[in-house]
Structure 1
Amino acid sequence: MVLSLAGCTTSKPTTSTGTTTPADAANATAAAAAPSSKGVGINPADINPSVSPCDDFFQFSGGNWLKSNPIPAYASSWGPRNLLGDRTQAMLRQILEEAAANTSATKGSNLQKVGDFYASGMDSAALDKAGLTYLQPELKRIAAIKDLKSLHASLARQMALSTGAFFRAGVGPDRKNSTVYAVNLYQGGLGMPNRDYYLKDDVRSTAIRTAYTTYMTNTFRLMGDSEAAAKQKAEAVLALEKKLAQASRTPVELRDPQANYNKMTVADFQRQYPHVGLPVLLAAHGLGAAKEVIVGQPTFFQELSAVMNATPLADSKAYLTWQLVSSVPSALPKAYSDEAFRFQQVQSGTKQQPVRWKRMLAATDATLGEAFGQLYVDKAFPPAAKQKALEMVANIRASMAEHIQTNTWMSDATKAEALKKLNALRVKIGYPDVWKDYSALTVSRESYLQNVLAARQWNYAQNVKKYGGPIDRNEWGMTPPTINAYYSPPMNEIVFPAGYLQPPFFDPNADDAVNYGAIGGVMGHEMTHGFDDQGRQYDSQGNLRDWWTPADAAEFTKRAAVVGRQYDAFSPLDSVHVNGKLTMGENLADFAGLTIVYGALEKQLQKQYGDKPRPVIDGFTPEQRFFLSWAQLRRQNIRPEALRQQILTDPHSPGQYRTIGPLMNMPQFYEAFGCKDGQKMVRTESDRAKIW
């Protein structure tokens, strides 16, 4: 995820499906005692042996698991990450409920804030009783808008409340000068996931728009409008958002970092887009000293300026009201969150709303994640786990360096820059070295909505006050319990929260083949994001700078295009194809990451066993266990509605193609399972992709 072959296998006897059997394995290693499995590993019961691994490795590796793990009513998809999520949630729930029960915690302490935030969110009776009482001050501010100038002032307030109105703005590293912070302006303002939801006219898109209009209409009615007035407001909001959608870049166009970097002076911005009110917005947030801004999509802001000037004030007020209310449904009476969920159902196919404690746990993590994340780390992430993870990253980095050095198509000049970037890569494991300071945030049990809005304002203030200061390289973009990881191009860093470094993704007691195939695959994925089609455009210091020779860049693009065509051909549903351009970066990171991690594992096995027979566990060699571990963690059942939404909006390919896509290009996989030409998992040599 972005915020962006060395070694020979040993020969093995195989069955007709290309799988080593327990009996064969015992014969092959008769001279050595068969080791017992330690830690979390491969569960043979999950495998569907009726499918050949060389025809469909997704079904072979986890077919029985897929059959026995249907999607719960409250979920839109289901996989191992959800199971780990359930275990993590149980631990976090205990932490939160203990904090909520402690009404004598020191005022102003993290424990008090975490406990009060969660307790106020769980008090649904108080939410129903309060109605819109605590939202009224914000609604009155919007209602008081009387001209364009006061619209700008209201928008400044909405930005501080992170409602998402009109566009996105914030402070982050200047991508062409990563030693300083810049003000970044980006397209936004849509209530649905992206522009396609407004512009496509197929049956499903039309149904979602109808459901969105119903959601808005019903919400305005809950706020006291008549049916006619509510419908009129909903139609006005949809019309305004459609104009913004038409001016928005596509998800694929947003993947071009050069095209989405347009620095200009504040004076130039004001001349070109006078009705956005940028000087007012900057001054309201203490950014009046900024002389330049980085504009992501100039055409969008051109249209936005025209929309803000031409839209009747009544419609703009309806839009701001909608953006505000729809950003806080769980902090309002139950009827509001029920309406939000009904719309979500149409998009994702989810049958049942998650129980309240799960929603409040997620909200507390998003708001105060580092405050109670410290308690989670103490329970779930011992120092030995961190040390093992660091050792794995070091081995994978060494494998990546070797792949760069032995690359046959890259010039020495580009190799030198690539190695410089790899060596400069920063690695963060588990939790921050410096924890967030929440002392300026006030939280009480009076009102959950007040807490939510106060936390948003605090968070926005924390962001904008970075401007003019040194780059904070201790900051994390995810909380410790998060089951995910990321690579940041401007920071040139990979980050792995403690939540991800848990079984079955990672277990210090598991055999190396399983750990390298699971979390190792993720480590390689994030590391090689620095060299995917987006990440490669940033240098060792995180600057958006072209350090490739023209010939090398052309060759990379040509090789990456092969991957794009392969994924374009994958079709999980009738008439629905994976978008190879949208998913390019994630696909490249999967493929390159798995390749370099395999090399790292082979070196680790060679160091451990030398020329001795390598252990066979549960009937599988280390190489086979490596690929099974990769596949079993990407198995996923997903509802058709959610799958369609993923393909439209998500830069990650569906789980089945993340499983098989890289393997279909890897001779190492063919050898591990005895695959032959003509089998479905084997691409001809001319059709294979090879980058690193």
Structure 2
Amino acid sequence: MRPVLAIAVAAACSGSSPASPTSPAAAPAPPAPPAAPAAMTLAQSGIVPDWIDTTAAPCTDFYAFACGGFLKTATIPPDRASWGAIEIVVKDGEDVLHQVLEAAARSPSGDPTLDKIGTYYAACTDEAAIERAGIAPMQPLLDIIARVVDARSAAAAIVALHAEGVFPLFAIAPQQDFGDATRVIASLDQAGLGLPDRSYYLESKGNMAKTRAAYVAHLGRLFQLLGRDHATEKAAAAAAAEAMRVETQIARLQQDQVVRRDPKAVYHRVDRAGLETKLAPSFPWSDYLAALGIPGVTAITVNDPAYYTAIARLLRTEEPAALRTYLTEVVMRDQSDNLGKAWVDEAFAMRKVLAGLKELPPRWLRCLRSVDRDLGELLGQSYVKARFAGDAKVRAVELTRSVLAAMRVELDQLSWMDDPTRAAAKQKLDRMAYLVGFPDRWRKYDFELRRTDFAGNVRAAGRFELARQLAKIGKPVDRFDWGMTPPTVNAYYDPTLNEIALPAGQLQPPFFGAAFHPAVNFGSTGGGTIGHEMTHGFDDEGSQFDADGNLREWWSVPTRAKFAEATQCVIDQYAHYEAVPGVHLDGKLTAGENIADNGGVKIAYQAYQTWKAQHKPPPPPAVDGYTDDQLYFLAYAQSWCDKMTPEVLETRAHSNPHSPPMWRVNGVIVNQPGFGPAFQCAAGTPMNPGKPCAVW
């Protein structure tokens, strides 16, 4: 759960597919699928033949069988932390959009969309102008920090930095009110750390101690680049140590990842008076809200009331010099990528430690990613035009509806869910909406850009987006607002909207193809994406939100107890797996995603069986010796063919709720009732061990 299109193409797509957001009840029936060819090759089916390793036994290690050919030959590019199916699709999109941006940057076209992204890209790729600017773009932020001489001025600096989109200590954002999902409320959440998670400051599992030392050295080099009082190596090292001391204090105050999986643990609604008189009365909340352009806020939600009381105390008790040092390093980390080469190289040095990257991505690619971040729906129009035309959206909608129907059947078969809860679950499923491909209306970016001021453009975009987001507070929820841009290779379920989103980037080969064998689309996209996201509506987090998106207990006590028992099996199973030698997965942290992986594959498999029985002529029953059921599981597995650096595997194990690719395949396969028969795996073999974990 929870990181455009020309008119002719939009008309072609929207005329044959439901508008977003779409619910199953509201969606018109899509046209019948095209007749499947009498025969097709494995490559035509959507499976990548060269990725299969036929020397591996599918009943012993299915990941090695489905992906072994890829893993033996693939090389991780030096500017990436991994290489696999996802990255291949990402790279294809980057190549398409690179050409678009280069052409748009060369000269004005008269197309406002292309001209805007071209101006931004041109400024970003003008490295000479960026070098000439030096640290001048960061100076206004440093001037704010220089005024910190006591607790009051420190709080004022926090206010001013937040207004600029830099968030030490905590951050503010709009959020659907968990108590009234029709409205948007202001939300405060913990922030301000430079390492991936609080555990990196407080524990020494794996390479955590080594990573801490590398981080302090990195901060020292940033301070030395800044110069002034930190010009010498000794002074810079002292400043880095002081910043790390303050960050460690903050980390001790923050919630850990497992606690934060519980929505009730991060939702505490307080009124304006409570904020100003009880929570943290020494902090200038009225000034803060006014500076952010939302002075009329009457209520707010905070992740942990005790945290804000504690950080207000920290501002009162910490030495002003130490606060200046901490705020300075936050600003330097925030701004490094917008400055000259020395700053960019130093920011990359820390990414090398955390992700195992060997080389800095080329400038054009970093600029493309900046355009996607700051002007995503403008850039996305070109992506949709190039990669999501024809009937792709229609086929994706049909697939989504098939999996939804299968999930409704699955709800009837859940032994741990009692009848009253089952009825409410069906109501929630029937009201689940879905966004497919791209927005039906494109958002605007009403701010000025300059062709010679990259850092200024980033600042303008950031301030505009912050104002746009905060303007939602106190208003009805906009259900047409996407949380991802069209080229994004990912998907999400939003429990407060009861809605899944499938960007166009996720609906690409090898994950999805309008001409693929249906079993492949059902296995990869139906199971790995659609079914996965749908089950999030009924996991340990999503189950706490009702059909309207309100945080409300609608499961019976016996149902939740039986669900917890079934979930414990999954927790124990994955806790035995290692990300890298000596570093085990956190079964509790990854439980929600692991349940979604397992449930999605099982439900989409049933959806495919139903689809196959209902459609004539049926798809080819076998392709190059593989049955259609085998294609289903192969497609799911190949969607996770991925080679990762050891560094990123360990970082993810400590801080990411998703399991590594190998375990997203083998950890799922051992629990699938359809896999053993499909591959004729005898009971007791590694991939058909018996006694599966079965939440879904």
Structure 1 stretch 288-297 or stretch 237-246: which is displaced more?
A: 288-297
Q: Which residue of 2 aligns with 1:689?
A: 693
- Does the 8 Å contact 1:386/1:430 carry over to 2? yes
SS of the counterpart of 2:588? Answer: coil
Q: Deviations over 1:167-201 (max 9, x none)?
A: 12111110121011111111111111111111123
Q: TM-score, normalised by structure 1?
A: 0.92
Q: Deviations over 1:23-69 (max 9, x none)?
A: xxxxxxxxx96545574511333211222111100101110111110
Within the alignment, does 1:205 sit opposite 2:212 as a pair? Answer: no
Structure 2 counterparts to residues 242-261 of structure 1, below 5 A: 242-261=248-267
Structure 1 stretch 479-488 or stretch 299-308: which is displaced more?
A: 299-308
Give the Cα separation in 2 of the matches to 1:146 and 1:598: 63
SS of the counterpart of 2:321? Answer: helix
Q: Which residue of 1 aligns with 2:94?
A: 89
SS of the counterpart of 1:328? Answer: helix
Q: Which residue of 1 aligns with 2:24?
A: none
SS of the counterpart of 2:182? Answer: strand
Q: Which residue of 2 aligns with 1:595?
A: 602
Q: Which residue of 2 aligns with 1:264?
A: 270
Give the Cα separation in 1 of the matches to 2:65 and 2:400: 29
Per-residue deviation at 1:313?
1.7
Corresponding residue to 1:195 among 186, 195, 198:
198
Corresponding residue to 1:548 among 552, 555, 577:
555
Corresponding residue to 1:615 among 604, 611, 621:
621
Per-residue deviation at 1:164?
2.7
Within the alignment, does 1:181 sit opposite 2:204 as a pair? Answer: no
Q: Which residue of 2 aligns with 1:527?
A: 534
Q: Which residue of 2 aligns with 1:558?
A: 565
Give the Cα separation in 2 of the matches to 1:511 and 1:294: 47
- Does the 8 Å contact 1:152/1:281 carry over to 2? no
Q: Which residue of 2 aligns with 1:315?
A: 322
Which AA in structure 2 matches 1:47? I
Summarize the Cα distance change of 1:203–1:502 in structure 2 as closer, same or farther, 3 Å threshold.
closer
Per-residue deviation at 1:383?
4.2
- Does the 8 Å contact 2:174/2:472 carry over to 1? yes
- Does the 8 Å contact 1:240/1:307 carry over to 2? no
Which AA in structure 1 matches 2:47? I
SS of the counterpart of 1:327? Answer: helix
Give the Cα separation in 2 of the matches to 1:33 and 1:86: 33
Structure 2 counterparts to residues 258-407 of structure 1, below 5 A: 258-270=264-276, 271-407=278-414
Corresponding residue to 2:416 among 409, 416, 420:
409
Which AA in structure 1 matches 2:574? Y
Within the alignment, does 1:234 sit opposite 2:237 as a pair? Answer: no
Q: Deviations over 1:543-599 (max 9, x none)?
A: 111101111111111111111111011123222111111011111111111111001
SS of the counterpart of 2:236? Answer: helix
Q: Which residue of 2 aligns with 1:75?
A: 80
- Does the 8 Å contact 2:563/2:695 carry over to 1? yes
Give the Cα separation in 1 of the matches to 2:673 and 2:490: 29
Summarize the Cα distance change of 1:34–1:379 in structure 2 as closer, same or farther, 3 Å threshold.
closer
- Does the 8 Å contact 1:37/1:510 carry over to 2? no
Corresponding residue to 2:508 among 498, 502, 522:
502
SS of the counterpart of 1:468? Answer: coil
SS of the counterpart of 1:494? Answer: strand
- Does the 8 Å contact 2:219/2:240 carry over to 1? yes
Give the Cα separation in 1 of the matches to 2:473 and 2:87: 38
Per-residue deviation at 1:116?
1.2
Corresponding residue to 1:46 among 38, 45, 51:
51
Give the Cα separation in 1 of the matches to 2:477 and 2:335: 31
Structure 1 stretch 127-136 or stretch 150-159: which is displaced more?
A: 150-159
Q: Deviations over 1:590-623 (max 9, x none)?
A: 111111100110011112358x895210210010
- Does the 8 Å contact 1:131/1:333 carry over to 2? yes
Q: Which residue of 2 aligns with 1:118?
A: 121
Per-residue deviation at 1:274?
2.7
Q: TM-score, normalised by structure 2?
A: 0.92
Within the alignment, does 1:473 sit opposite 2:476 as a pair? Answer: no
- Does the 8 Å contact 1:276/1:304 carry over to 2? no
SS of the counterpart of 2:623? Answer: coil
Give the Cα separation in 1 of the matches to 2:192 and 2:322: 14
Per-residue deviation at 1:145?
3.0
Give the Cα separation in 2 of the matches to 1:138 and 1:33: 66
Give the Cα separation in 1 of the matches to 2:146 and 2:257: 34
Per-residue deviation at 1:356?
1.0
Give the Cα separation in 1 of the matches to 2:374 and 2:292: 20
Q: Deviations over 1:224-276 (max 9, x none)?
A: 22223322221221111100101111111110111211112232233232344
Corresponding residue to 2:663 among 636, 641, 657:
657
Summarize the Cα distance change of 1:471–1:624 in structure 2 as closer, same or farther, 3 Å threshold.
same
Give the Cα separation in 1 of the matches to 2:476 and 2:97: 34
Q: Which residue of 1 aligns with 2:138?
A: 135
Structure 1 stretch 292-301 or stretch 367-376: which is displaced more?
A: 292-301
- Does the 8 Å contact 2:39/2:620 carry over to 1? no
Per-residue deviation at 1:148?
3.0
Per-residue deviation at 1:300?
2.0
Give the Cα separation in 1 of the matches to 2:644 and 2:206: 21
SS of the counterpart of 2:615? Answer: helix
Q: Deviations over 1:276-305 (max 9, x none)?
A: 433321121122222221110223222211
Q: Which blocks of at least 5 consecutive residues in structure 2 are unaligned?
A: 4-36
Q: Deviations over 1:514-571 (max 9, x none)?
A: 1111111211101111111111111100111110111111111111111111101112
SS of the counterpart of 1:258? Answer: helix
- Does the 8 Å contact 1:113/1:444 carry over to 2? no
Give the Cα separation in 2 of the matches to 1:88 and 1:646: 25
Give the Cα separation in 2 of the matches to 1:566 and 1:48: 26
- Does the 8 Å contact 1:275/1:308 carry over to 2? no
Which AA in structure 2 matches 1:85? V
SS of the counterpart of 2:263? Answer: coil
* Aligned sequence identity (%): 36
Q: Which residue of 1 aligns with 2:635?
A: 629
Per-residue deviation at 1:382?
1.3
Give the Cα separation in 2 of the matches to 1:682 and 1:572: 22
Give the Cα separation in 2 of the matches to 1:147 and 1:447: 34
Summarize the Cα distance change of 1:613–1:378 in structure 2 as closer, same or farther, 3 Å threshold.
closer
Per-residue deviation at 1:127?
1.0
SS of the counterpart of 1:585? Answer: helix
Give the Cα separation in 2 of the matches to 1:469 and 1:647: 38
Which AA in structure 2 matches 1:209? R
- Does the 8 Å contact 1:484/1:496 carry over to 2? yes
Give the Cα separation in 2 of the matches to 1:33 and 1:364: 45
Which AA in structure 2 matches 1:150? S
Summarize the Cα distance change of 1:604–1:129 in structure 2 as closer, same or farther, 3 Å threshold.
same
SS of the counterpart of 2:188? Answer: strand
Per-residue deviation at 1:203?
6.7
Q: Deviations over 1:109-159 (max 9, x none)?
A: 333321111111111111111101222222212212344333333222322
Structure 1 stretch 645-654 or stretch 348-357: which is displaced more?
A: 348-357
Q: Which residue of 2 aligns with 1:455?
A: 461
Structure 1 stretch 364-373 or stretch 291-300: which is displaced more?
A: 291-300
Q: Across the two proteins, how many residue pairs are aligned to each other?
A: 658
Which AA in structure 2 matches 1:473? R
Which AA in structure 2 matches 1:54? C
Give the Cα separation in 2 of the matches to 1:392 and 1:287: 42
